[in-house]
Amino acid sequence: MIKLRKDKYTKMKQFLYLIWITVLFAFPTKKEFSEAFIEVASNGNPAVVSIVSEKVIEQRYHQFFSPFGDQFPQGESRGHSLGSGVIIDSDEGYIITNNHVIEDAEEIKVIMFDNREVKATIVATDPPSDLAVIRVDPGGLSTVDLGNSDQLSVGEWVVAIGSPFGLHLNHTVTAGIVSAVGRSSVLSRNNFEDFIQHDAAINPGNSGGALFNLDGELVGINTAIATDGYSKANAGVGFAIPINMVKRVMEDLISDGRVTRGWLGVQIQDVDEGMAKALKLNGRHGAIISQVIKNGPAEDAGVEKQDVIIAVDGVKVDDSSNLKNLISSGRPNDKTKLTVIRDGHERKLTVTLGTRPGEKELAETFRYGEKLFDALGLRVETFENGESMSFDSLKGVKIVEIKKDSPASDNNIKRGDIITEMGKTSIKDEKDYETELNGYSKGDTIMLRIIRNGSPLYVAFEIE
């Protein structure tokens, strides 16, 4: 009996010892922990660059007049701004950075990790996301693996690399943790913001630089810092654009020169406590529809005012900024499933996304409650009349209004013209017209066959 108890006690000791050994080796040693950061810095540094932008700055002086008729002249000086960037395609020489780093630059110089200086050209920019793609001659470039920012967790370690304060501090490496994800309305509610908030030290000059996870994957592009209001220095609150948003934007910038975003055709706002109570909602998550644009994608799908959108393609909607990001990450003609709450009941709607207009046109659309003009500056309606024309069964779209100073207004297009072809494609109605027009981008040349006063003619011009 005593021997059995001793055997049991011995086995218990052995079991506890095995658990202790397992736990001990499950946690990295101090050296192993340090080596993780060393490896990220070693692999990431060669793909991070410093960017020097040069531009002309007007010196505006008050004009003081002397008794002799002289006045102080206005002058110009050349100014420099410093930022960072990340090589995302070493074969083609593409570098991602912030738009504000290279905005209005007349000359851009890129300084590599090995101190080589090369000139860069702007491929395309997207101010609403504050992203830009520039290009250098390929050759001897390093690049990085792109991660999945959706998999980032609050509390996860991240490493920032950039050029804070000046070239004498280029390729500074700092570390911190992810403080929060999905931050919006940080810079502007009009921008597309879904920031990663972190506390790795970043400062002026870090803009456009890299944010890595401990696997050495690029998970964000550092963009902004929050300060105490008296200083531009780091206060432990930095923001990075998640790499999943960066991927979507840079693909469009490289392939098309602009970002084409999905559009729902609604005005939205956050759900407050009073609205949640009045609409008998279970919480304040989601976004409430305050306006449905006439003839827009949402109206066609049956979306109504006071609907509360709580999910997009099964992804929960937190607030109006979150909804804007989810919809804009889609592409025109995508079939998108909305989950809405209407009259206390959940409904499923499928909407075919449209193309998000530019900011000026968007403001105009919301003001008048409908999208007035397309990318050509036209308003059209389906036309079909074979009796009063010299063409049998003439079909197309009739131009009912032309926007002032638009591409169409400057290129021999007139009200009443009937568009029957775009390129080599026949246009029978508004749907044909919109589908075909969505295939064109800014800078493309479009050719239209129109009927004017019974006579056909072609008109070709570039889309601005």
Q: List the catalytic residues.
A: 100, 130, 207
- Give phi and psi for 368, each to the nearest 5: -95, -5
C-alpha 370/C-alpha 171 separation (Å) is 49
The single-letter DSSP state of residue 72 is P
Sign of the C-alpha dihedral computed for residues 51, 52, 56 and 62 taken in this order: positive
| Residues recorded for the chain | 464
Cβ-contact 399, 380 below 8 angstroms: yes
